[in-house]
Structure 1
Amino acid sequence: MIRTVITGSTGRMGSTLLRLARDAKDLQVVAATVRSGSPAAGQDAGLAARLGAALDVLLMDDLERALEFSKADVVVDFTGPEASLAHAKTCAARGVPLVVGSTGFSEEDTAKLRESARKVPIVAAPNMSVGVNLVIQMAAQLARVLGPSFDVEVLEAHHRMKKDAPSGTALKLAEVLAESLGRTRDDLTFVRDGQTGARPPGEIGVQALRGGDVVGEHTVYFFGDGERIELTHRATNRDQFAQGALRAARWVARRAPGLYDMADVLGLQGKT
């Protein structure tokens, strides 16, 4: 049994992770946390997360204390950049592997995450879905084969409550496409407004839509002369994100220190 700690346990992803980890035969939820000062602290994690039954695990608002008493093998974190960085530092100090699914990290944040990963193995990915990560690999291959004669655009859609834009997955797609085409982040265009003129050669557009309860949709367009290719992934619930994260948890629990991503977890050849 892999002794697992779930952070942000009363949130959308946290409660999903709790439910799926509870039902997994090879995982044991030994601790669960909420933000500091949360009124849910001290409640049973299963009841607070509305799972319909108690888990016999009391919510804590301090990850360090949770790790001290749980003898955890791995922590799974879907909170936010600031909290995730603090959790990574705590895991590094305690020697506990970590899975991070938060998005919105800056380059400076990623550097801090990498620093923690010198002490413990960390899997960090903007999207833990197995399907999305296969789409990223396919997009890279298409870009290499089609080359500069095709114009590339990335479009993503998410629910109205999402805080960052474009999504971390869209940014990952755009960066992978740029690398495959020999371009840089300077070639990414996030806003078009007014008299923009003709589309510059080599530009990669990244656009975001927000509304309703859309879980997550990502499409890469390859526009050629006389033909168009569309590569799309649509998520209809959060289970696949959580299942991917738990797959990463099983994988990272036995790895050497380092910063990994889902391509490592899935063993994808020619990872970008």
Structure 2
Amino acid sequence: MKVALIGYGMMGKVIEQKLLARGHEIVGIVSMDRLQSIKDISEPFDVIIDFSHPDNLASLLAYVDVHHTPIVVATTGYTDEQVASIKHAALQSPVVYTANFSLGVTVMQEVLRQITPILEDSFDIEVIEKHHNQKIDAPSGTAKMLVETLNPDGIYEEVFGREGSSKRKREIGIHAVRGGSIVGEHSVIYAGEDEVLEIKHEAHSKGIFANGAIKAAEFLVGKPVGLYNMHDVLFSK
């Protein structure tokens, strides 16, 4: 597999190492100290992996719209408008986009889909996410993704943090913790009468996101036009 790698920060370097270890070829790296644009890559490539910055999205999607190149969009922090543009690009090109490329989080989502309908009538549901003290957005994109999995039909009110005094309604509480160097933790708590079930994922390094992005790229090569996520990557036949 020949890859165009967008972004050469910490994640880009990790992806480079893992791609080469798996026998793939990187034909070009776009970053401030490498190539300035994807248009500067002279060799053909099979797929784009983007782990850069939201500001690069418009130029990348403009290239994809013309060349219909498969792209794995692994950058985070997009606005709603940018997410809409990613979905629009998938009308003409194969695209993998998700809030979290961890294989474990993807499996966690599948578990939540199966157990929530069984427990929702007799258990309260809370989501807690923890990240390092430099993370700007809260709650995390992954926490929002998990809530969408828990509440696909919008039957729960989504409550972000709590203060004051009010009786619990049909709701999902969502709580964010910021401190230290926590890479990422996400917990879903089902609290029932005299019992508590907690489904938890801990990220111990950012390498897990590189693994998922590479697996997504391998999946995407040769796929038809469309928007895919990590559930498709792991569970589609």
What's the offset of the Cα at 1:218? Answer: 0.6
Match of 1:18 in 2: 16
Match of 2:29 in 1: 32
Match of 1:49 in 2: none
The question of whether the paired residues in 2 share the 8 Å contact of 1:13 and 1:78 is answered with yes
Q: 1:162 is paired with a residue of what secondary structure?
A: coil
Match of 1:3 in 2: 2
What's the offset of the Cα at 1:76? Answer: 0.6
Residues 196, 238 of structure 1: CA spacing in aligned structure 2 closer, same or farther, 3 A cutoff?
Answer: same
Match of 2:173 in 1: 205
Partners of 2:91 and 2:15 in 1: CA distance: 26
Partners of 2:30 and 2:51 in 1: CA distance: 11
The question of whether the paired residues in 2 share the 8 Å contact of 1:103 and 1:167 is answered with no
1:182-221 equivalence runs, <5 A = 182-184=153-155, 187-193=157-163, 195-200=164-169, 202-221=170-189
Q: 1:86 is paired with a residue of what secondary structure?
A: helix
Match of 2:105 in 1: 132
Match of 2:35 in 1: 60
Partners of 2:230 and 2:4 in 1: CA distance: 19
Q: Which runs of 5+ in 2 are unaligned?
A: none
Match of 2:194 in 1: 226
Alignment pair present for 1:74 and 2:47: yes
Question: Comparing both chains, which one has the higher relative contact order based on Cα–Cα distances under 8 Å and sequence gaps of 6 or more?
Answer: 2
Letter in 1 for 2:16: L
May I ask how many residue pairs the two structures share in their alignment?
237
What's the offset of the Cα at 1:153? Answer: 0.8
The question of whether the paired residues in 2 share the 8 Å contact of 1:5 and 1:29 is answered with yes
What's the offset of the Cα at 1:85? Answer: 4.3
Match of 1:88 in 2: 61
Percent of aligned pairs with the same amino acid:
33
What's the offset of the Cα at 1:111? Answer: 1.9
Residues 268, 167 of structure 1: CA spacing in aligned structure 2 closer, same or farther, 3 A cutoff?
Answer: farther
Q: Which runs of 5+ in 1 are unaligned?
A: 41-58
Alignment pair present for 1:170 and 2:167: no
Match of 1:152 among 112, 122, 125: 125
Match of 2:206 in 1: 238
TM-score relative to the length of structure 2: 0.93
What's the offset of the Cα at 1:268? Answer: 5.3
Q: 2:211 is paired with a residue of what secondary structure?
A: helix
Letter in 2 for 1:188: E
- Structure 1 consecutive aligned stretches of length 4 or more whose deviation exceeds 6 Å: none
Partners of 2:59 and 2:150 in 1: CA distance: 31
Partners of 1:152 and 1:177 in 2: CA distance: 9
What's the offset of the Cα at 1:86? Answer: 3.4
What's the offset of the Cα at 1:105? Answer: 3.2
What's the offset of the Cα at 1:248? Answer: 0.5
Name the Cα RMSD after superposition. Answer: 1.7
Partners of 1:151 and 1:88 in 2: CA distance: 41
What's the offset of the Cα at 1:65? Answer: 2.3
What's the offset of the Cα at 1:84? Answer: 3.0
The question of whether the paired residues in 2 share the 8 Å contact of 1:85 and 1:113 is answered with no
Letter in 1 for 2:191: F
Partners of 1:212 and 1:168 in 2: CA distance: 19
Report the structure, 1 or 2, having the larger strand content.
2
Q: 2:106 is paired with a residue of what secondary structure?
A: helix
